Homo-oligomer: A and B are copies of this chain.
């Protein structure tokens, strides 16, 4: 439906400079030139719009970065990574603003969990890139590098997106490549160890209730065609209602489900629910 896209676009503009909470459905519908009722024909609630928006843009951004990282040789990789990330952020500048704002601000646990999920996907990509470029020798400082790279990207976001600093993207990427290489080659004091990372993992998912999980699963099942994945999901749903299967079987079913792109989110939630790492 066209209407959905229109609402997402206009809402994004408002969210970008007011945030989720301060933007009312009224404002969105006015900007779209539609009535309040029409909004609720496209989205069940304001929260559903936000959730859909996060999915839509995050998937797009991650897909772009992943593609670039996969298809670039090691020599240029870091430069291309920075450059394409900045490009992608600039292309989706409104969404990036929203993300930065809401990452620290939203009270809604569902959004936070979702954002942290996509964040973990990006972290995986960056980590695999670091390992490819620098090899085993930086194993102990890989999380240091990860957080520094993320910081550099934040510097870009702050300067370019929030303060409109006149910065050349290629130059920016070059400069950050140099800084990253410096840190990778000479850092001797690792700051963030594997244990630290483990200790701070998933502080959010304890708030995901069975009811909420069942609701999302049922909705997804309805939208799926008959397949092994759908069958697996049905079994997982029954397991949630009345536990009967062994952990090994559950883990296997979750693995099955993960194959379908539209179920990745659910498999992530289930994995956390059953505390599988």
Give me the interface of A with B, judged by CB distance under 8 Å. Answer: 17-19, 21-22, 100-101, 104-105, 107, 144, 147-148, 151-152, 154-155, 159, 162-167, 171-172, 174-176, 178-179, 182-183, 186-192, 195-196, 199-200, 203
Contact = CB atoms under 8 A, between A and B. Distances in A.
A164 B105 contact: no
B191 A171 contact: yes
A182 B185 CA distance: 10
Contacts of A144: 175, 179
Which 9 pairs of residues, A with B, have the shortest CB-CB distance?
Answer: A151-B151, A175-B191, A163-B200, A175-B189, A165-B200, A105-B105, A101-B104, A101-B105, A182-B186
Could you say how many copies of this chain the assembly holds?
2
B179 A183 contact: yes
A148 B180 CA distance: 12
Q: Is the interface of A mostly helix, strand, loop or mixed?
A: helix
Contact of A178 (B105, B179, B189): B189
7 contacts: A100-B104, A144-B175, A147-B159, A151-B155, A165-B200, A171-B191, A172-B191
Contact of A203 (B163, B171, B176, B182): B163
Contacts of A18: 107
B105 A19 contact: yes
Contacts of A178: 187-189
A154 B189 CA distance: 19
B191 A187 contact: no
